[in-house]
Amino acid sequence: DLWSHLLQEMEPSISSMMRPPAGEAWQIVKFELLSFSVSQNALKSESDKIIVQHLTVSDRCLAWLSYIHLIEFGGLPVKFYDPANSNPTKLMKKESFLIPWKTVEDVKANPDTLLALFEDAIQSCTSEDASTEKRIVCLPLYRNMIILQQLLERWEAAIELSKSLLKLNPFDCQLLKTLVDLYLRTGEIERACDVWLSAFEKNPQNAQVFYFMCNFFVMQNRSDSIPALLQAFVAAFFEYVPQEKHPVDLLRYFLNFPMPIEFTPPLYKGNFMEDVLNQQIPYLWQIYCLYQSLHGSSVEATDAFEAALGAVMQEEVVQQIWMDYLVFMNDKIVKSNNQVQEFKLFADLVNRCLVTVPTRYPIPFSTGDYWTNYEFHNKVISFYLSCIPKTQHSKALERFCSTMPSNPGLAFKLLQQYWEENNIQILKLQAKMFTYNMPTCLAIWKM
């Protein structure tokens, strides 16, 4: 893994040092064409097998995705690097990503050529060994391929590819969600429902699938079906559930809440495995919070979110719980008779979220080295801005920038806001200040 990581770091660093001066456009074109040629020849692993064999399959997938991103957007994925530092640097984050196509107009290369390139990538990563395990590792490539087919409105091909991948990994929630979204885009709502219901029926003890399914029904304004589904979900763990046992009480029992003295838990099924249940605790918390926000009182829902934030440790789930909590609190404002007080509670919760969620992350394969990642914080701030009038955006952004002066995403958002308000003088002053706060961020200097 270390060799693979170092090889993956090598090419972007060398590319950064070799890049010609900015004014020489023809040299840049030649440089990019050379980069494409070298990257593709290496990744196809025909003449450079000795290099490629040191790349793990997952790193080879990321290298291919980076190459396709380079073709489409003229640069390497920004998610891999610290946006505040434009110098040649280490890979800060190694996670699969979605190529940021928004519309079909964003697709620069010939679509059929791109689809063929994805096929080349998959063949290279599987080394012609299309085993289930290797195809699952290639899911990041498949997901981006499906997105491209969706943009091209090749619905049938995208649906068939999604179905074939689900045969390999039938309970992958992202794949299930992709297939559901495709059915929704083609107007086949009942088929979309059947995807989740079928996955739940095949694995009724899968808390993650159940949570995603409940979210889907909420989005379809069918949250009234969730109590019955919750009853079926908790019943899947027990031999028999008496009618007087409320499913929420059993959910609380799973989550180790203190139970009344008279509470007697039902008998677990013979095939019950405690380890399997323990692995699903984070998703059980999400289910509990979702149910209480829909069918519990305001106090019960708030208590559920607070308890979940104190119990769950997994970063991705914690962030999702925070977002669900903020959405719930914002919805309360609309329904409240005292909107001023409720908005103050909401704003305080946003600030608490920004303060308590960590921003420092370890750099892969670098002992004791960290970097600052504001990606989630910027998502929270964007949601907060969507909840307040446009006239208050610049003041709010100024306040957030004062607490996160080295946040480039936030800096650009503030500068864009000044531009939209035609506040050019303050925009220039603020841009100059950001060059002091983030001296190695080339994008700020280009402003």
Number of C-beta neighbours around residue 169 at 10 A? 14
CA nearest to 413, candidates 447, 371, 372: 447
Report pLDDT for 29.
35
Beta carbons of 227 and 247 less than 8 angstroms apart: yes
Report pLDDT for 4.
52
Report pLDDT for 144.
96
Report pLDDT for 50.
53
Domain spans, the chain: 25-153, 314-383, 388-446
Report pLDDT for 441.
75
Radius of gyration of the chain (CA): 25
Cβ-proximal residues to 111 (8 Å cutoff; 6+ apart), any chain: 148, 152
Determine the Cα–Cα distance for residues 415 and 427; give it in Å rounded to an integer: 6
Report pLDDT for 11.
53
Tokens found for residue 265? 């838990």
Give the bridge partners for 361, in sequence order: 371
pTM over the 0.95 mark:
no
CA nearest to 236, candidates 217, 218, 209: 209
**For the chain (length 447 residues), average pLDDT per consecutive 10?**
50 44 37 43 52 74 88 84 79 87 92 93 76 81 96 96 94 96 96 97 95 96 93 91 88 92 86 83 97 94 97 96 97 87 95 96 82 95 96 95 93 94 91 87 74
Report pLDDT for 133.
75
Backbone angle region of 6, left / alpha / beta, with phi > 0 → left and psi within -120 to 50 → alpha: alpha
Tokens found for residue 207? 């808390």
